[in-house]
Amino acid sequence: MKKIVAGLPVLALVATLLTGCSSAPDIKISGKFGETVTIKSGIPASGGSNLLVVEHGSKPETEAPFVVSHRTVFNATTGETLVSQNQVLPVKTEDSDPEWMREVVSTTGVGERSVLLSDIVTVFGEGVAAQAGMKDTDPIILVDDIVLATQATASGAEKTLPAGFPTLKIGEDGVPVITLPAGGPPSELMIANTIEGDGEVVKEGSDVVVNYQGTNWRTGEVFDQSYDSRFPISFNTEGVVSGFKKALVGQKVGSQVVAIIPPAEGYGEAGSASAQIQGTDVLVFVIDILGTLPAAK
């Protein structure tokens, strides 16, 4: 299976969806809802109409701000799976969002499936087709199984951070503000909760939905975060540095965690030039754990 390395996250997607096409192609989907699926279709290689098909009844009501889709993208001509991943979507979309995404979110709720047929360049933009060994005009099929609704922030029993941890406050905009204690950073991995949730436990190899913020102890500056983004992100616990993974696995959904991560549990001696992290830098992460589910295969 070819891997599309870039261009697939929903924030990078651009598309125009035209519903109500006159002749719907015969698309057969096999596999359980929320798991890896396969398709059988007779879409010609020259492309086809855009189509949205919603299955599993009417959209259930939810007060949650975000949902997670188990998304599988296919080459519609060959049936080859291009990518399968869990993707966070906002429940309320904006006019600036791609029309196809607004259609999926407005008509599909938790426990439902949408199927979109389009050419690859319309959905993912230029340059992605070549990564998949396809042409811009080749058709693709997106199957979105909405598997989970998630909360916006951590919620649960409040906890006091132990000695040696930074102090933490949440700004009016919802973005954490930490104040580092005097003196040098600890040399060992330290993990503690400011909020202990009561949701599902995060397991090894699962996908998680989180908001996070990373601060470099040496500079006192935030080098990366998602709290100031429009919605949280989803990734696998195996896809992050070891200290971050240890801060997630075993925690309950709803928890807010603070992790002090030394280089050996972070980016190592190499550091990260793009984030201006040196090989001796200690990092502080604040993490809101908002959801968890099995990894997309």
Q: pLDDT per residue over 187-234, tens digit each? A: 999 999 999 999 999 999 999 999 999 999 999 999 999 999 999 999
Confidence of residue 17 (pLDDT cuts 50, 70, 90): very low
Which of 292, 73, 263 lies closest to 187 in space, CA to CA?
263
pLDDT of residue 163: 93
> Residue 219 and residue 36: Cα distance in Å, rounded?
44
pLDDT, mean over the chain: 84
Domains of the chain and CATH, by start: 10-149 (3.10.50.40), 157-293 (3.10.50.40)
Confidence of residue 166 (pLDDT cuts 50, 70, 90): very high
pLDDT of residue 42: 60
CB 243 within 8 A of CB 262: yes
pLDDT of residue 45: 56
Residue type, 129: A
Percentage of the chain exceeding pLDDT 90: 56
Confidence of residue 287 (pLDDT cuts 50, 70, 90): very high
> Residue 47 and residue 77: Cα distance in Å, rounded?
9
pLDDT tens per residue, range 106-149: 878 888 888 888 888 888 888 999 998 999 988 888 899 999 99
Indicate whether 55 pLDDT > 80.
Answer: no
pTM, 2 dp: 0.83
Indicate whether 15 pLDDT > 70.
Answer: no
Indicate whether 161 pLDDT > 80.
Answer: yes
Mean pLDDT of 5-26: 35
CB 100 within 8 A of CB 15: yes
